[in-house]
Chain A
Amino acid sequence: MKAAYKKRLAVLCIAALTITGTACGDGGGSKANNGETPAANASSHASDNKASAEPASISLFVSNNAEQIPPGKSMDLATVKHLAGKTNTELDITFLPHENYMEQLRLKFAGGDIPDVHMVWGIENSELVTNDLALDLKPYLEKHGQHLLKEIPQSAWDAVTLNGQILAIPQVAQGNAPAERVIYVRKDWLDKLGLAVPKTSDEFLDMLRAFRDKDPNGNGKQDEIPFSSREKFEWMDNVLGMYGVNLDSNTVSDGKVMPGFVTPNMKQSLGLVRTMYEEKLIDPEFLTNSRAVWDQKIKSDLVGSWNHVVLGVWDSWQKEMSTLLADKKPNVVAIPTPKGAGYEGDVGRVEKSVLKTFVVKKDAANPEAIVRMFDWLVTEEGQLFADLGIEGETFTKAGEQLTYNADADKDLKWRQAVFTLHGFNEAAQKVKINNEEAFNKLMATIETSRSEGIDNPTAGMAPSPAMTQNAELSFKGSLFQEAAAKIVLGEKSLDYFDEFVASWKKQGGEQAIEEMTAWYNENRK
């Protein structure tokens, strides 16, 4: 009896272990297959005058920008092959998922998988830069990067320069509009209710109140969401920016550099959001909205106002809403960020002179070829490639006249997201949009954005050691997130903000401020 018992026990043990074992095993996530591609089989496509030389192999990690990218080797994609052929290179591109790109990148690096070139949104995010393992591109740029140096403005180079070393190739802010986000409003709702574009935060609130009460979508139900944003207090930058701060902005005051979210201005901004929540002017689910849910709400004629990137005005907002809500004749416009009540100063989005950057590792095999490839992307030919695709297949050029075939251009979305380095090519944008009204709308939005923006005194600064070692200090940490949530949801008074700042400083914030100030005095003053 006893023995049989023991045996059953053993069997159970094994079963239990197997179950827990598999449960642990599948947590590892998918492994991308990015082994080194042998450089042997693709040299036949080199087409320009350097064709005599062997194509240089370059490996790259970039974000897939949340687009579907055809599977398979990158050199099998017509778009990549074209670029490789034009620049006499052999490109091995790994597209990492956009949602957790930085995390994936860290894991790759931790696994010893470091490509020649990797994309990060700002050099401060690159572990290679912070560990002094990024290549100084200055000498190579002088030799092989004349187009880059000419095309990309100094402010962008400043953002990738540390101690006189150029540590990355920057992509200029889209539309050359560094304050890259704006407040969008349904102009058709405004017109229907006879409202003017708000100029102050009070007028902005009044506009939202009208959206809430006067049934602008005309379905007889009070289901309008006057303003919507997304989880972690993100995508409300310009609302916070009515008082000159963003979550990721830094402010210089009294000679000290500190994150915007611990300044008195943020207290005012949170007060504004608190009022919006109290009066049901902001989406009650703004703390849980994912990108998809948020997008869905806006496109189902529920949302009156939201915050998004400048170049989104036509594709996707106006373009898709015109199709989805054809009978409503939606009209999406960007409004200049209203000024916060009692606040004088810059408003809007913190200026990002670069959208993203490409960092080259120190021991990359072909730095000249890398610089040459990026250099080609900002030539007129390269700009047309990024915007319109392959000449003769997706567009044709007769003299100055461009003709674009949108239906043939399947790779458009990810190609322009990955390979655009220039700020704005007006001619290419014009044929791409192929709609006078939409083009004017885009230009107007860019104009709105260019005329505002919060100064960014610390562009290119690596996160201070105090903040990396204790992530709770960043705006994504629980300190700020929780305090802000409690204040906005009305669980705590607005003055709780001062308590939060005091506790933030005590837990290491003071040190972070010191480190940031020291960096600023050394590098930017």
Chain B
Amino acid sequence: MTTTSLAKAARPGAERAAAGRGPWRYFLRHRAFYIMLAPGLLYFLVFKYLPLTGSFIAFQDFNIFKGFSGSEWVGLKWFRQLFQYPNFGRLIENTLIISLYQIVFAFPLPILLALMLNEVRQMAYKRIVQTVLYLPHFLSWTIVFGLSYMLLSPTNGLFASIFSGMGAEGGILQQSEYFRPIIIISGIWKEMGWNAIIFIAALAGISPSLYEAAKMDGANRWKQFLHISLPGLLPAIMILLLLKIGHILDSGFEQIYQFLTPAAFETGDVLDTYTYRVGILQGQYSITTAIGLFKSVIGFVLLVIANRVSRWTTGEGIY
């Protein structure tokens, strides 16, 4: 709500600015906006751009006591170690499959939820449903794992008797076949309501006059949904989808780490858990950085391609 009014307030200023002379006057006139922008810019500069310069330790045998200047240069050693890791193929496969499942199954649900909530006319009911659905977002993954355990444990789980028929001796939490579904389902349960917020906001931003006009023209609820709500939501959907594709090699470390057991490595060991095991736990910062760099490059390339495709097909893009 406040964002739309802000955008409106900005408009007259923007028109006047076009008439102004020189960037400095423009800046002065809109100083309030620039001041408000500063913390955000600073955040990205300090926490996102500055650390980028540290990436070169991926090419060093970095030792915290020797520092940037004292550590030995080792070229592509860490990248070689990563690519020559015998299970590297499996890591990539698991990462991609879990991400893909997330895009196919988990991504559309918040959109659906937002659209459905948008059709609810009873405001109180809508608010309650929305609140209840986004509350799990505030639970940590440790707690969500605890809950899943209480449901699925073979010795004292609520669903134990159902699953014991499925031939899962040690409980389905220890079975590699069920690992991915559990990750996806628990992910949906935890994040669906929260992720719907952005879509609900986007729907609220659609001008009511469009609906009124449609009604005048005799469009029913379904037609209104099809020709107003859905197109109105498309930019938001595309942006979030593109961002998700850029993060395709991040499959949610905290969640997977909680659920992963050695028996499920085959389907659940992803790049992030590997990084944690070989990098963070051992204090091997160079290989951690190398993997991060590798992930970023892949993510960047994918993002560029996806953006092209999106602009070409739907006309939407993030830049």
Asked if residues A16 and B263 are in contact (CB atoms below 8 Å), the reply is no
Q: How far is the CB of A488 from chain B (nearest CB, A)?
A: 9
What 1/0 flags go to A22-64 for Cβ under 8 Å of B?
A: 0011010000000000000000000000000000000000000
Report yes or no: B174 in contact with A489, Cβ–Cβ below 8 A. Answer: yes
Q: Does B43 contact A (CB under 8 A)?
A: yes
Could you tell me if B318 and A284 are in contact, using CB atoms closer than 8 angstroms? no
**Segment with Cβ contacts to A, from B22-30, B125-133, B236-244, B291-299:** B236-244
Q: Which of A9, A109, A233, A471 meets B239, CB within 8 Å?
A: A9
Known: A103-B281, A284-B155, A503-B86. A19 touches B7 (CB 8 A): no
Stretch at the interface among A135-143, A206-214, A368-376, A479-487: A479-487
The residues in B between 82 and 139 inclusive whose CB is less than 8 angstroms from any CB of A are 85-87
Kindly list chain B residues whose C-beta atoms are within 8 Å of the C-beta of A225: 155
The answer to whether B261 touches A15 (Cβ under 8 A) is no
Mark each residue of chain A from 481 to 521: 1 if its CB lies under 8 Å from any CB of chain B, else 0: 11011100100000000000001000100000000000000
Q: How far is A449 from B14 in the complex, measured between Cα atoms in Å?
A: 81
- On whether A285 and B153 interact (CB within 8 A), knowing A476-B277, A477-B277, A482-B266, the answer reads yes
Does B261 lie within 8 Å of A231, measured CB to CB? yes
Please report the C-alpha to C-alpha distance between residue A268 and residue B282 in the assembled complex, in whole angstroms: 29
CB closest residue in chain B, given A100: B281
Judge if B154 is at the interface, Cβ distance under 8 Å. yes
Decide: A489 and B170 in contact? CB cutoff 8 A.
Answer: yes
A131 x B201 contact (CB < 8 A): no
Say whether A482 contacts B235, CB under 8 Å: no
The answer on a CB contact under 8 Å between A287 and B263 is yes
- Residues B170 and A470 in contact, CB atoms below 8 Å apart: no
Q: Say whether B198 contacts A12, CB under 8 Å.
A: yes
A8-B205, A485-B262 known; A133+B3 contact, CB < 8 A? no
- Closest chain-B Cβ to A9's Cβ sits at a distance in Å of 5
A222 to chain B, nearest CB (A): 12
Q: Which residues on the B side are within 8 Å of A507 (C-beta)?
A: 86
B171 touches A19 (CB 8 A): no
Q: Do residues B154 and A232 form an inter-chain contact, with CB atoms below 8 A?
A: no
Residue B265 CB within 8 A of the other chain: yes
Which residues of chain B are near A19, meaning CB under 8 Å?
198
Smallest CB separation, B106 vs chain A (Å): 15
A150 within 8 A of B: no
Q: Give the contacts of A122-169 with B (CB-CB under 8 A).
A: 127, 131, 133
Q: Is A16 a contact partner of B240 (Cβ separation < 8 A)?
A: yes
Contacting A at CB under 8 A, from B262-299, are: 262-263, 265-266, 269, 274, 277-285, 287
Query: How many angstroms from the CA of A477 to the CA of B282 in the assembled complex?
Result: 11
Known A12-B198, A127-B64; judge A284-B169 contact (CB<8 A): yes
Q: Report how far A127 CA is from B64 CA in the complex, Å.
A: 9
Name B207's closest neighbour in chain A (CB-CB): A4
Some 30 contacts from A to B, beta carbons below 8 A apart, are: A8-B202, A9-B239, A11-B205, A12-B198, A15-B198, A19-B198, A20-B243, A24-B47, A103-B280, A106-B283, A110-B64, A110-B285, A127-B64, A127-B65, A131-B65, A225-B155, A231-B261, A284-B154, A285-B154, A285-B155, A285-B170, A293-B149, A297-B155, A478-B265, A482-B265, A482-B266, A484-B262, A485-B261, A503-B86, A507-B86
**Residues of B that sit less than 8 Å from A by CB:** 3-4, 7, 43, 47, 63-65, 81, 85-87, 149, 153-155, 169-171, 173-174, 198, 201-202, 205, 235-236, 239-240, 243, 254, 261-263, 265-266, 269, 274, 277-285, 287, 316, 318
